[in-house]
Structure 1
């Protein structure tokens, strides 16, 4: 099998058997085609040797790519060669001895509970009395978006792309279709349910919105609110709420959701399910929160802590 055919077969397997999303498949394709272009022409990627792969990885490092990018490219190669080995297309895996670069541990930006509270309180106040230049519909929508995002920890693309039907079913839960087209159920707090009901009433008053199949409709290519518009409105809200604008984004609120749950006693596995992480290792970026909680627990309750 030539390399181009092998890459196509691998991508087809990732799509059909593992449900990889379109963006993931595009990233695999780019990484594998780049690697194929770097291989000796008489062998190509599918028949690359251990030395060929090592030279390619060293070339990536020499170009100054971040450790996370190098690790991603190596992961793509590993999965590709394991596929070829499992299919009997080649007898070995040339990435078997390759080492991933060490990535520095980066902690996610987040907000304190007080900052999050100020942001939500400001959104609630503006929904009742919109500031100059902000329509009532936009203010009520923003309040609903912020409340639901903090209550559920959805990815921003999941939130803005919610179909109307999810809010018309049992309002205690949202059924969300996330990465890899996988569904998960996320509970809604009483406050989030109330803001959602208020948004649905306002939404129904606009004939253009009322006919849309999306929960947060907009005049856009997709038909729903672009995530960039939500991010822009969120930063403007943060400025009015005296929350550092540089520290705010929809993703930061998702991190706040996870961090605040763990700070208040939630289990890491439960947070993994709520965030929609396929692997617990992804959720383990929050272990510093658990460590802080354990230290506080010992300091507060151990008889020799003083």
Structure 2
């Protein structure tokens, strides 16, 4: 194959200069391989120096006709951009044929949310007479009060609670730390768990500072939290497919519906881009549209 030397050089670049994992390197190479599979299908195998934007547009049409999902198409295009960007960097080509290549627009999935009545139903269904119930109530209160990811919840530390100030320190994605306000109800139930349940657990060495523990004294697993929430939803007959992340979505949506500043919500969620936070404004728009429909005299 005439283009194998270019592909081998790209592979070396990904491994040595970009220090990507073997799986990531394979993913890039698979994307590039699809382009040359397309050329094989039309009995044409140009040198990379001859490939132009018209070739690539035809290739995109081809993978689209094959039924490839838009998200997969977008990933393939990203791989092609990296490949031809590398060739340009190495002066192996003089122009980048992917420069004007656009990825398909991806539909943004709107997150499921719970209303406050549904959240109260779940909390009220917890049997707080049992140690696991006390912990479950504290977990849901904290998830909803602080908008945490499940990994952030199970990683919470006693040393990261600043009760008098009403804040907790959270370690999020990429080990980025942020300070998040915690509501009075969440603090109350977390303290009940710590003082009445956690205090009776024989804690394993190395887990002394973790707030939420399993029965053996180790930090609680993410799966345990998922299972607990799924069981609760089934118990109250909730038809929505919920997870720990649903409480994070509900936290953000309820704040924005109540008029909270988008930048403040972004900070509390730990989003690096406000674009990620903006997905939660969809319900706010639905609410405003409903106001117009219900109350405007000429709606």
Q: TM-score, normalised by structure 1?
A: 0.74
- How far is 1:90 from its partner? 6.1
The residue that corresponds to 2:212 in the other structure is: 216
Equivalent residues in 2 for 1:1-306 (5 A)? Answer: 2-9=9-16, 11-12=18-19, 28-38=24-34, 40=36, 50=53, 54=57, 57-58=60-61, 60-78=63-81, 91-123=94-126, 126-127=127-128, 129-130=129-130, 136=131, 138-167=132-161, 172-201=166-195, 202-208=197-203, 212=207, 213-218=209-214, 224-244=219-239, 246-295=240-289
3-state SS, counterpart of residue 247 of structure 1: coil
User: CA 1:117–1:31 in structure 2 vs 1: closer, same or farther (change >3 Å)?
Assistant: same
Structure exhibiting the larger radius of gyration computed from Cα positions: 2
What is the root-mean-square deviation in Å for CA atoms of aligned residues? 3.8
- How far is 1:34 from its partner? 1.5
Maintained 8 Å contact 2:110/2:279: yes
User: CA 1:43–1:66 in structure 2 vs 1: closer, same or farther (change >3 Å)?
Assistant: same
3-state SS, counterpart of residue 107 of structure 2: coil
The residue that corresponds to 2:41 in the other structure is: none
The residue that corresponds to 1:133 in the other structure is: none
User: CA 1:171–1:297 in structure 2 vs 1: closer, same or farther (change >3 Å)?
Assistant: same
Q: CA–CA distance in 2 between the matches of 1:170 and 1:46?
A: 65
Question: Paired residues, what number?
Answer: 282
- How far is 1:233 from its partner? 0.9
Maintained 8 Å contact 1:162/1:176: yes
Is there any run of 5+ residues in structure 1 with no aligned partner, and where? 16-24, 131-135
Deviates more, 1:154-163 or 1:77-86: 77-86
- How far is 1:60 from its partner? 4.5
User: CA 1:78–1:243 in structure 2 vs 1: closer, same or farther (change >3 Å)?
Assistant: same
Q: CA–CA distance in 1 between the matches of 2:234 and 2:85?
A: 50
